[in-house]
Amino acid sequence: MEMLLQTFFFTQGEHVNNQGHKETDLLREASKQLDEYFMGNRFKFDLPLFLSGTEFQLKVWKALESIPYGETRSYKQIAEAIGNPKACRAVGMANNRNPISIIIPCHRVIGSSGRLVGYGGGLDIKEKLLQLERDNVR
């Protein structure tokens, strides 16, 4: 998994450092599921999530979880899905506050024009994640 994380999230010369972090069953399971995702064998995460956010953020994050693997939705579509069609910018802000990218797939949200916009990890990472999913859709 370290190599996959380095490929997606770190520049050359940086290393994943997990020293000093207590390993738990939940972390082991999350690591396993992320490995499966990056290998193209997991399309939805099944982890017990206890998210902390505003009511609006929680609605947005729940809507993000419903976007199928390999597909995208616009900020407008997410706003409509949560019953607040004029809240496109607020959806973007909720995405920005997503505490667990990939597991809650905010990378699947794009601009109304179909262009890639806004991603905390950078648009190059967003494109790689979307390409990974497109390559593995069965």
Give the model's pLDDT for residue 118.
82
Q: What does the pLDDT look like over 70-105, one tens digit per residue?
A: 999 999 999 999 999 999 999 999 999 998 999 999
Q: Is the pLDDT assigned to residue 12 strictly greater than 60?
A: no
Q: 120 to each of 4, 117, 125, how far by Cα in Å?
A: 18, 10, 9
Residue 78: per-residue pLDDT:
97
Give the confidence band of 11 by pLDDT, cuts at 50, 70, 90. very low
Per domain, the residue ranges of the chain are: 2-38, 55-136
pTM summary value: 0.80
Given a contact cutoff of 8 angstroms between Cβ atoms, the answer to whether 83 and 46 are in contact is no
State the Cα–Cα distance between residues 128 and 132, nearest whole angstrom.
Answer: 6
Residue 86 tokens, joined: 């004029």
Residues acting as catalytic residues:
106
DSSP SS3 for 82: coil
CATH 1.10.10.10 fits 55-136, yes or no: yes
